[in-house]
Amino acid sequence: MERCERFKNNPILRPSDVRPTRDDFIVECLLNPGAFEYKGRFGLLLRVAECPVIEKGWVSTPIIDPDGSTRVFRVKSDDPELIKTDPRVFKHRGQAYLTTLSHLRLAWSDDGVNFAVEPEPTLTGEPRLENYGMEDCRVTQIGSEYHLTYTAVSSDGFGVGLITTSDWRTFERHGLMLPTPNKDCAIFPEKIGGHYYCLHRPSAGGIGTKNIWTARSLDLVHWGDHRCLARPVAPWESARIGAGAAPIKTPRGWLEIYHGATLPTCYSLGLLLLDPDDPTKVLARSKEPVMVPTEPYEIKGFFGNVVFTNGHVVRGDAIYMYYGASDEVICGAMMSVEALLESLKF
Amino acid sequence: MERCERFKNNPILRPSDVRPTRDDFIVECLLNPGAFEYKGRFGLLLRVAECPVIEKGWVSTPIIDPDGSTRVFRVKSDDPELIKTDPRVFKHRGQAYLTTLSHLRLAWSDDGVNFAVEPEPTLTGEPRLENYGMEDCRVTQIGSEYHLTYTAVSSDGFGVGLITTSDWRTFERHGLMLPTPNKDCAIFPEKIGGHYYCLHRPSAGGIGTKNIWTARSLDLVHWGDHRCLARPVAPWESARIGAGAAPIKTPRGWLEIYHGATLPTCYSLGLLLLDPDDPTKVLARSKEPVMVPTEPYEIKGFFGNVVFTNGHVVRGDAIYMYYGASDEVICGAMMSVEALLESLKF
């Protein structure tokens, strides 16, 4: 198998494949799915980003109110206190807003390539921690329990939310496991030396860069012993790096497919190999990215030049790697564990 | 007793009272001490900020090297890649540096007013997490054990470090309990409803303001369930707020003396009263600050217009409140628990 072979029918899911939650909303983007296996089927937990139907002369976005209902926040396009810098965010009177509100929604497949999206949201933001939405969920299976780590976005910032489920119907919320500003958190699939571990990506706060960190835990809910694992090194990741999905256990160590970005923004994917007995140690790292945006759907879209993964299913040597392209559509690629490990031998 | 009465002999400690760690260093500032009682005596854990003896034509700062030794990093004052924005920080080739390196040092007193400073550092930065130093330590006594939460500053950012001691001679390090960017962390002095709690202050990451948050723990090392507790409200705290020392247990709830700052910078102190059974709930909050910089030593200094507290000793109704003034000298004030609580009845 090649190191990285895109699905022939990419993109496998587009915004038009998903029903909006309200008649006055449109699904603007599908992004960055978590991935897992359940009862022999492939599951994706899509990030569905919605916005109000475009209304001329206004900038508007959905926000979740304290009572749990979704309200449309509107500002006149010519308001002097409105600042639009990016398709993803705007500022009004000093407060930042997202242009879309994301929820998480399940999609199922028997072959890992053809997915059917559920007609309703699976998880929507709760008012206190997620009034700006839920994004980019990683799914880690430990025993029969699935641990969902996602970006919980609110008017107070973005942290890492934790939810568990065993049946994908009932969900238990554990609040924020990592405080703002943090995202890109993936839990390792088993205990290592008596502790659970995760990768996470705190924002830089004036000193240092946007690095990948580790933390450890005894119960998966409370975390400590935070350490910086890896910093941007190569030109293709000069602006920031962040973890993808849960590291893959291999005989040579924990294999992590991570993202790196440049400024102006181009998101690519790279590889880290971590010590099997101490995942706070990097054994090897790809010199060149394993995937860069090259296809039309990766270069042009809501936010172009992006390939971003936070979900995969591993069957033997085969990695079914799912990724968001251009912050707009869902794609897949096949990778080989062996070939990836081989590429890390210098 | 008045609500807040400054010590008559303020400042009680100045940089000239402290011996530098090396002949080629000077103690530039004494800052923000943690405070505690041990064997009937008052203890302060001072932040001692040192810099190299000034050398004309150079900007220099001490940094801790991987082997634990302290190296002087020097840049020519006219280097085009040098950016000086603030007396506390500079940037060179995109990397931020502090102008001083801080360690923590004990000072002891029998009366709470006259302190003798130990001749050597008590705790110095360890290379991996604190190569830029240790700052602003809070001390919380739980049983016979003291829990030290301090800002661990490194070239990767600033997080909250945790150290424990029972005898103030031997110390156990527990790494970073909260990742970058975070500071101003104070642990509550007892379990509440089965959990330990702390206050902390993550930096804003593009959304929201610099707020005070809570977290909870079962073992004081691993933390979760992070929640935003309080946001800047009043004009005197418009730029940021952050916790002071450990909340004081009172019959009406947990009393917290916190800091708020404006931009341009002026740091004042205010009060929060938290639910005795659920410290994630604010019962009352001071409308006006309880202390603002008014004295000459609070208005002028290394970084003027600052009163900042992270240490106090409570004896009955009396609070011996210690604070840093102008980021340069250590001061004290007496406060009355009753009077502070009375001021929160509107």
| Structural contact between residues B146 and B122, judged by C-beta atoms closer than 8 angstroms | no
Q: B227 and A182 in contact by Cβ < 8 A?
A: no
* Chain A residues 177-236 with a CB less than 8 Å from chain B: 177-182, 200, 202-209, 211, 213, 215-219, 221-228, 231
Report CA dihedral (A263, A264, A266, A272) to the nearest 10 degrees. 0
Chain A CB contacts of B89 under 8 Å are 206
**Chain A residue closest in CA terms to B182:** A205
* Chain A residues 236-275 with a CB less than 8 Å from chain B: none
Over residues B196-217, the mean pLDDT reads 96
| Structural contact between residues A205 and A182, judged by C-beta atoms closer than 8 angstroms | no
| Residue A143 dihedral angles phi and psi, to the nearest 5° | 65, -130
* Chain B residues 145-164 with a CB less than 8 Å from chain A: 153-159, 162
Chain B CB contacts of A241 under 8 Å are none
Joined tokens for residue A183: 């995202």
Over residues B298-326, the mean pLDDT reads 97
d(CA B163, CA B103): 14
Chain B CB contacts of A218 under 8 Å are 219, 222
- Asked if the peptide bond before residue B127 counts as cis, ω within 30 degrees of 0, the response is no
Supply the pTM of this predicted model.
0.96
Chain B CB contacts of A132 under 8 Å are 207
DSSP SS3 for A55: coil
Mutate to test the interface with A, among B92, B226, B229, B240 (most CBs of A within 10 A): B226
Q: Could you read off the pLDDT tens digit of each residue along chain A, which spans 346 residues?
A: 568 999 999 999 999 999 999 999 999 999 999 999 999 999 999 999 999 998 899 999 999 999 999 999 999 999 999 999 788 999 999 899 999 999 999 999 999 999 999 999 999 999 999 999 999 999 999 999 999 999 999 999 999 999 999 999 999 999 999 999 999 999 999 999 999 999 999 998 899 999 999 999 999 999 999 999 999 999 999 999 999 999 999 999 999 999 999 999 999 999 999 999 999 999 999 999 999 999 999 999 999 999 999 999 999 999 999 999 999 999 999 999 999 999 998 7
Residue keyed to tokens 């038009």? A16
Smallest CA–CA distance, residue B227 to chain A, in Å, is: 7
pLDDT tens profile B40-60: 999 999 999 999 998 899 999
Q: A208 and B96 in contact by Cβ < 8 A?
A: yes
pLDDT recorded at residue B73: 96
CATH fold of A5-343 reads: Tachylectin-2; Chain A (2.115.10)
Residue type, A320: Y
Mutate to test the interface with B, among A178, A191, A222 (most CBs of B within 10 A): A222
- Nearest one of A183, A186, A129 to A156, comparing CA atoms: A129
Chain A CB contacts of B225 under 8 Å are 174-177, 221-222
Of A175, A213, A218, the CB nearest to B179: A213
Smallest CA–CA distance, residue B88 to chain A, in Å, is: 12
Chain A CB contacts of B204 under 8 Å are 157, 180-181
Residue type, B115: F
Mutate to test the interface with B, among A97, A131, A135, A156 (most CBs of B within 10 A): A156
Q: A179 and B202 in contact by Cβ < 8 A?
A: yes
pLDDT tens profile B56-111: 999 999 999 999 999 999 999 999 999 997 889 999 998 999 999 999 999 999 99
Q: A175 and B225 in contact by Cβ < 8 A?
A: yes
**Chain B residue closest in CA terms to A159:** B226
Chain A CB contacts of B126 under 8 Å are none
Q: A153 and B223 in contact by Cβ < 8 A?
A: no
d(CA B238, CA B261): 6
Mutate to test the interface with A, among B172, B222, B233, B278 (most CBs of A within 10 A): B222
DSSP SS3 for A102: strand
Chain A CB contacts of B153 under 8 Å are 207
> For the stretch A210-247, what's the b/e string if a residue is b when 16 or more beta carbons lie within 10 angstroms of its beta carbon?
bbbbbbbbbebbbbbbbbbbbebebebbebbbbbbbbb
Joined tokens for residue A195: 């502790």
Chain A CB contacts of B191 under 8 Å are none
pLDDT recorded at residue B273: 98
Q: Which residues contact A152 (CB under 8 A, 6 or more apart)?
A: A125, A129, A130, A134, A158, A159, A160, A161, A176
- pLDDT exceeds 70 at position B1: no
| Residue B58 dihedral angles phi and psi, to the nearest 5° | -130, 150
pLDDT recorded at residue A199: 98
Number of A to B CB contacts under 8 A, please give it. 161
Assign residue B9 a region (left: φ > 0; alpha: ψ between -120 and 50; beta: otherwise): alpha
Sign of the four-CA dihedral B329, B335, B341, B346: negative
The interface predicted TM-score of the complex, written ipTM, equals: 0.96
Over residues B183-203, the mean pLDDT reads 98
Mutate to test the interface with A, among B156, B162, B173, B209 (most CBs of A within 10 A): B156
Q: A224 and B175 in contact by Cβ < 8 A?
A: yes
Give the pLDDT band (50/70/90) at residue B169. very high
Q: A205 and B203 in contact by Cβ < 8 A?
A: yes
**Chain A residue closest in CA terms to B214:** A179
pLDDT recorded at residue B86: 84
Which H helix or E strand runs over B213? Answer: strand B212-217
| Structural contact between residues A31 and A102, judged by C-beta atoms closer than 8 angstroms | yes
| Structural contact between residues A198 and A147, judged by C-beta atoms closer than 8 angstroms | no
What angle (nearest 5°) sits at the alpha carbon of residue A51, between those of residues A50 and A55? 155
Q: B226 and A176 in contact by Cβ < 8 A?
A: yes
Of B174, B179, B222, the CB nearest to A222: B222
* Chain A residues 82-101 with a CB less than 8 Å from chain B: 89, 96
Q: A179 and B176 in contact by Cβ < 8 A?
A: no
Joined tokens for residue B42: 């008052």
pLDDT recorded at residue A96: 94
| Structural contact between residues A202 and A182, judged by C-beta atoms closer than 8 angstroms | yes
pLDDT recorded at residue B2: 64
Over residues B174-199, the mean pLDDT reads 98
